[in-house]
Structure 1
Amino acid sequence: MAGVTKVSLKLMIDTERRRVLYAEAGKDFVDFLFYILALPIGTFIPLLNQEMVGSLGNIYDSIANVSTTYLRPNVNKESLLKPMAYFSGGTGLPLHLPNVESSRKLYRCCQQVSEFNTNCACGRAMFEETIYVGTPSANNPYSSVGNYVKGKVTYMVTDDLAVKPLSTDSILTLLNKFNIKEIGALEEKVVDLGMDEVVKLLKASLLTKSILTDVFLSVLKEEVDFSKKGKEEDDW
């Protein structure tokens, strides 16, 4: 996995209701959110551990536990448990999910293609390497993965990860929705996203609709409490 750099968000916090109303975000963060939808669902399950809602985790465990005796010779467990995302030119994203690999190396034999050097249905090993090449076109979502929205634009990302360009109208609409009289009532806080925050954000997005609040507000509260405690000790 490529090295992860930090991406910053400016949170607008409704301190009275103790929630993040929205975040001001740039291209990097919005591209990351859109990139999540291009990933195989199997990449998410190991990250969620026991927090998985529903039964997809049971399917994952069944694959992990099934004996290879019951699998066809050309089936490799790893290809199911650790699916790879085929992006023809990489993502170019500063943020990535852990253990998500972008692979362009494939193995071929007869009419079958696999990302693993395994056995073909004919019994021979798949040893001939081939390269995945995405066709550049507007209809191919993998040809430009990681490069979805225009730069030099500030986007509004609401607490439930709805995205739209930031504008006076979008701000006023949100303020009216939550009966907030003026934007001056909101507190601004800039936060950085690294790998820990990325994983927490993914988990929260599958479990709740208050993603930004759940991921960032408890951390910010701890920072504030710690700062106040330090000041009190200095005064003492």
Structure 2
Amino acid sequence: MASKQEPKLPLTLLVDKERNCVVAAEASGDFIDILFSFLTLPLGTIIRLVSKKQGCNEAEEIGCLSNLYQSLESSGDKVFWNYICKKMLLCPRNPCEALCQKLKLKLDDTMPMRYFMCSNRCRRGGDWFLSTFAEASCYCGKQMDKEMKLHGDSNEGSHGDGVFVKGRTMYLIFDDLKVLQSSPGNTVQQLVQLGYKNFHKLTKKYLNVSTKEILDLLKQALTSNSPLSDVFLESGGLKRVCTFSPKLRPENQNQGWINYNSSINLKVTVRKSKKTILYAEAEGDFVDFLFSFLTTPLGCILKLLDGNFSMGCMNNLYKSVKDLNPSCFTNPSGTPLLNLRVAPQFGFRRQPTKLCEEYTPCYWYGTGVIKNNICFAIGNGVISKDHSLIKHPGAMKLFDPRSSDGTKESSLGFVKRPSLFVVWNDLQVTPLANTSSISFLQKLNVPLDDLEEHELRIEETEALNLLGASLTSKAALTEGLFYLLKPKKQAKA
């Protein structure tokens, strides 16, 4: 039997051969949907895709986040509340998963969401329990491994032709990933701005794009200002267009009032001669905050940092979503791309920034389905987000996989409390359990009188600075937090 051939999408390039660059490209909404889906990918998924998918020995690095992800991979399960926590961080869920499953080319290899109940059909407080992880342990002690079918959700988020934008509309894409609706007027205006008075120096190139080229495009878009030329012409354009400048906390912010529920205390050690932060001694809250970067969609981060950093062409892609005519989008109530949140259950509760979780939908369990006002019994029962579609609906409670009994209140994050870690300047994370402090300092091989300790409080401004630095720098602690350090007075002899 012949294997199913991977679909490909048509793409027309307008190429300046003298300069060896893509001036513009034209494609249908199917291709634009895939470009815009980059914004929905959690950072952990992006790191996994660009560093490992192509089987290269040399991993693509994204600031310090690649180090953070590698630290997560090498961490033992005992660091976390349970082994599901580590799995959640390594393979975070896309908040637009249902929509992205409809893309013509699927870049994200994360397993789609599945639903499980305990075989005992346990209830507590009148609610049935539901888990999106088969490995979760029910409070009765059994694994929640009875898979359930979700009824009535096949068209979630669908508003006709296309996924995010209308598929049959044509669009212009420029080398820096600026996207416009294709029209003669837009084409003339853009080409003239780029210095072309006619088509004499331009030639067309027709391509059929596969998942491999899309993945290459994602990788280049994170670091380059000319990803189309880099991928389709192998031009080797400018690399590492990633910049960030920390913001200062407004003087009137939190005067007289501190939100201790979201602020995080941090102890950092500075190497005075190098004027760098060598490492930080951190408790679980700070490590959970760092790990929460991995579960956050790229578009959410671009919105939070609001142009205060440059990461390849991703800012242009996000701005294109904001500037595109609303009539281009499939959803008449507005595109979800501008209001992305962390997927339900994948957030960190004590979050100094405004990285919020998506609202958890309500689920219902019933003994059958209702179609055309006729009830059809199902032996194992059925679940749905719409109680009107099932027979004898009963409310369900979504089991939190990070806590021992499924209660949201007891789940602080991903790593165990109490616990202590060393976070290095490049965001490598090392647990300090059973570690000798004497051996630790000896291995540093740094003069002890060159070390100086400072205590910091991480609130929203500092947290955003650290987030921006982690995406663009190889020394995130220094780039994101060093400006906070005040010189210490020398003790008199």
1:165 alignment partner in structure 2: 181
Q: What's 1:106 paired with?
A: 115
Distance verdict in 2 for CA 1:185–1:134, change over 3 Å: farther
Pick aligned residue for 1:29 from 13, 28, 31: 31
Determine the structure 2 residue equivalent to 1:92. 102
State whether structure 2 residue 15 is matched by structure 1 residue 13: yes
Letter in 2 for 1:77: K
Are 1:79 and 2:91 counterparts? no
Change (3 A) 1:64 1:123: farther
Letter matched to residue 13 of structure 2: L
* Matches of 1:105 and 1:54, distance apart in 2: 33
Aligned equivalent of 2:217: 201
Aligned equivalents of 1:144, 1:32: Cα separation in 2: 16
Partner amino acid, structure 2, of 1:9: L
Q: Letter of the aligned partner of 2:195 in structure 1?
A: N
Aligned to 2:143: 125
Cα 1:144–1:162, aligned 2, differ >3 Å: closer, same or farther? farther
Query: Which residue of the partner structure matches residue 157 of structure 2?
Result: 143
Quote how far apart the aligned CAs of 1:112 are. 7.0
Q: Call closer, same or farther: CA 1:41–1:54 in 2, change over 3 Å.
A: same
Alignment of 1:47-86 (within 5 A): 47-49=49-51, 50-73=59-82, 75-85=84-94
Distance in 2 of aligned mates of 1:71 and 1:123:
19
Please identify which structure carries the higher strand content. 2
> What's the secondary structure of 1:92's corresponding residue?
coil
Determine the C-alpha separation between the residues in 2 that align with 1:209 and 1:120: 50
Deviations 1:208-235 (A, max 9, x none): 120100000128xxxxxxxxxxxxxxxx
SS of the equivalent of 2:204 reads: strand
Does 1:218 pair with 2:227? no
Cα distance in 1 between the residues matched to 2:28 and 2:89:
34
**Hey, what does 2:448 align to over in structure 1?**
none
Deviation at 1:95, TM superposition (A): 1.0
Q: Give the % identical residues.
A: 32
Code of the residue aligned with 1:94 in structure 2: it is K
Amino acid at match of 2:157: S
Task: Name which one, 1 or 2, has greater alpha-carbon Rg.
Answer: 2
Match of 2:196 in 1: 180
- Go from structure 1 to structure 2 and tell me whether the alpha carbon gap of 1:31 and 1:118 turns closer, same or farther (over 3 Å shift): same
Distance 1:19 1:157 in 2: 13
| Closer/same/farther in 2, CA of residues 113 and 154 from structure 1, 3 Å limit | same
Q: Aligned partners of 2:137 and 2:7: how far apart in 1?
A: 39
Q: Cα distance, 1:153 vs. partner? A: 1.9
- Asked if 1:154 is matched to 2:170, the reply is yes
CA distance, structure 1, for counterparts of residue 63 and residue 18 of structure 2: 34
Change (3 A) 1:204 1:134: farther
* Distance apart, 1:117 and its partner CA: 2.2
1:148 counterpart SS class: coil
Q: Deviations over 1:174-228 (max 9, x none)?
A: 2222211213421100011112211111101111120100000128xxxxxxxxx
Which one has a larger percent helix, Structure 1 or Structure 2? 1
Contact 1:19-1:217 within 8 A present in 2 as well: yes
- Over 3 Å counting, the alpha-carbon distance change for 1:33 and 1:186 in structure 2 is same
Q: Distance in 2 between matches of 1:194 and 1:209?
A: 22
Give, in angstroms, the shift of residue 76 of structure 1. Answer: 4.2
User: 1:40 and 1:143 mapped to 2: Cα distance?
Assistant: 19
Instruction: Report the more deviating stretch, 175-184 or 188-197.
Output: 175-184
Equivalent pair of 2:100/2:163 in contact (CA under 8 Å): no
Q: 2:134–2:145: 8 Å Cα contact kept in structure 1?
A: no
TM-score under structure 1 length normalisation = 0.76
Shift of 1:89: 6.7
Cα separation, partners in 2 of 1:131 and 1:156, compared to 1, 3 Å: same
Aligned letter for 1:176? V
For 1:47 and 1:89, the matched residues in 2 are separated by 19
- Answer whether contact 1:8 1:193 (CA < 8 A) is retained: yes
Distance (Å, rounded) in 1 between the aligned partners of 2:18 and 2:114: 53
The answer for unaligned runs of 5 or more in structure 2 is 52-58, 119-123, 236-493
| SS at 1:51 equivalent | coil
How many pairs align?
213
Offset, 1:162: 1.5
Q: Return the alpha-carbon distance in structure 2 between the equivalents of residues 90 and 98 of structure 1.
A: 8
- Specify which structure has the bigger relative contact order, considering alpha-carbon pairs within 8 angstroms and separated by 6 or more residues: 1
2:6 counterpart of 1:4: yes
